[in-house]
């Protein structure tokens, strides 16, 4: 490994790859260090693959701004690069009066965020989704689905083309402040390795709080402590019954179990989110009843109890504990903590995949200010 470089990024998930594809300009030495044998094996390969529109969060959240921009950029890059996506739209459904009230406030929030939402009459809902039932509904036409693996392959290819060195099986386990910037210590197949970098970008996803701590940041005091949530998906044995993503009114943690479609339009339900203490991707059907009793199932009468079975599990790191409100992304240059050149990305939960190209632009502007 070269001894002194301009930029080092820790973590080759969708966000680290997107940043690598932006900051690798001529004349810069850029390294992307990833502990696994390939990219995207943690949060980024286990998502719902939804291109979110930016409905849920307050207008002044960075999350909202980057989601709105990311939504536009993802469609643009899909068109020019061949990354598969479908602008299938998303329909939010209420199945009773109290859900209808919550649906209205979600609609108002989306309108406040500048989205082209459309309330649907019963007939309009029936025309768009003949197999779906609901008492009130609205359509988000800019929501869609993407092939997240193809998106990561695209960022990976762009990063490599611009000369970024992507180094796998290299786990960062130490960060020392030195006069030139940071000495990054890592474990690789040959044992220990190290490099010195002027700029260090922490995109370690589930472990981004630990990486911040390695640089000497008190994560509790900084508000960087991450909580783990597990997400479960169930496959549905039924084809061509819906055309759009079908969402309930959101629950307290996450968007609530909804109808996901993949790029082949295969149908699955999820994610069911709950807090956990450790990372575990094993599968069982102990929470099947929660799926069967979920709000969205009331709008999907064609799915019976025997039509669903566990498909996959994921883990997402969030900055809010049980019962706390959803928090914003943290993307921060830590110069005022005595760490100039160190940029933390913490709590990049959903819609981080959608926002990834916009996050890359945001971080690359910070990097330019540091290096120029």
Interacting residues toward ligand FAD by CB under 6 A: 10-16, 33-36, 40-44, 46-50, 52, 171-172, 203-207, 231, 271, 314, 316, 348-354
Which pair of tokens denotes residue 227? 């909580």
126 Cβ contact partners less than 8 Å away, ≥ 6 residues apart: none
Least separation in angstroms between residue 3's CB and ligand FAD is: 19
Closest distance of CB 57 from ligand FAD, Å: 12
How many Cβ atoms are within 10 Å of 116's Cβ, its own excluded? 11
Least separation in angstroms between residue 172's CB and ligand FAD is: 4
Crossing angle for the helix pair 148-161 and 352-371, to the nearest 10 degrees: 20
Burial group, residue 239, by CB count within 10 angstroms (0-12, 13-18, 19+): exposed
Whether the link from the prior residue into 54 is cis, omega within 30° of 0, is no
CB of 206 to ligand FAD, least distance (A): 5
Q: How far is the CB of 355 from ligand FAD (least distance, A)?
A: 7
Write down the residue that tokens 């392959």 correspond to: 153
CB of 115 to ligand FAD, least distance (A): 15
Q: Is the peptide bond before 364 cis (omega within 30 degrees of 0)?
A: no
Q: What whole-number distance in Å separates Cα of residue 20 and Cα of residue 31? A: 8
In DSSP notation, 208-263 reads HHHHHHHTT--HHHHT---EEEEEEEEEES--SS-SSEEE-S--SSSS-SEEEE-T
Strand partners, 90: 140, 245
Question: Cα 223 from chain centroid?
Answer: 20
Q: Please, which residues have CB within 8 angstroms of residue 79's CB and are 6 or more apart in sequence?
A: none
How does DSSP classify residue 307?
Answer: G
C-beta of 205 vs 310, nearer to ligand FAD:
205
- When the beta carbons of 106 and 136 are compared against ligand FAD, the nearer one is 106
Of 18 and 136, which has the nearer Cβ to ligand FAD? 18
User: Which of residues 339 and 348 has its CB atom nearest to ligand FAD in the complex?
Assistant: 348
Q: How far is the CB of 208 from ligand FAD (least distance, A)?
A: 7
In the complex with ligand FAD, the residue whose CB is nearer, 136 or 202, is 202
CB of 269 to ligand FAD, least distance (A): 13
């Amino acid at each position: 490994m070269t001894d002194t470089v301009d930029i080092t990024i820790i973590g080759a998930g969708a966000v680290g790859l997107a940043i690598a594809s932006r900051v690798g300009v001529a004349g810069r030495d850029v390294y992307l260090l990833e502990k696994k044998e390939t990219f995207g094996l943690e949060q980024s390969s286990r998502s719902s693959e939804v291109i979110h529109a930016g409905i849920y969060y307050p207008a002044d959240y960075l999350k909202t701004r980057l989601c709105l921009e990311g939504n536009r950029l993802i469609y643009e890059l899909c068109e020019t690069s061949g990354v598969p996506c479908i602008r299938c739209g998303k329909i939010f459904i209420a199945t009773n009066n109290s859900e209808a009230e919550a649906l209205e406030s979600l609609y108002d929030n989306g309108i406040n965020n500048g989205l082209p939402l459309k309330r649907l009459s019963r007939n309009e809902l029936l025309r768009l989704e003949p197999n779906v039932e609901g008492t009130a509904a609205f359509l988000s036409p800019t929501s869609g689905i993407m092939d997240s693996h193809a998106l990561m392959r695209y960022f990976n290819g762009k990063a490599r083309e611009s000369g970024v060195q992507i180094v796998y099986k290299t786990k960062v386990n130490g960060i020392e402040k030195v006069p030139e910037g940071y000495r990054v210590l890592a474990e690789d197949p040959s044992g220990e390795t190290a490099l010195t970098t002027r700029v260090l970008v922490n995109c370690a996803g589930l472990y981004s709080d630990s990486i911040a701590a390695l640089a000497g940041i008190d994560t509790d005091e900084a508000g960087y402590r991450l909580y783990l949530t597990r997400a479960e998906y169930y496959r549905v044995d039924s084809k061509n019954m819906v055309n759009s993503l079908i969402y309930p009114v959101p629950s307290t943690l996450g968007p609530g179990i909804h109808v996901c479609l993949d790029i082949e339009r295969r149908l699955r339900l999820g994610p069911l989110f709950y807090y956990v203490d450790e990372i575990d991707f094993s599968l069982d059907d102990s929470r099947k009843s929660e799926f069967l009793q979920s709000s969205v199932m009331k709008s999907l009468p064609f799915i019976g109890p025997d039509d669903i079975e566990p498909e996959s599990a994921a883990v997402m790191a969030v900055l809010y504990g049980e019962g706390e409100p959803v928090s914003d992304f943290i993307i921060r240059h830590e110069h005022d903590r005595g760490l100039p050149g160190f940029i933390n990305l913490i709590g990049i939960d959903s819609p981080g995949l959608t926002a990834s190209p916009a996050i890359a632009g945001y971080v690359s502007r910070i990097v330019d200010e540091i290096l120029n």
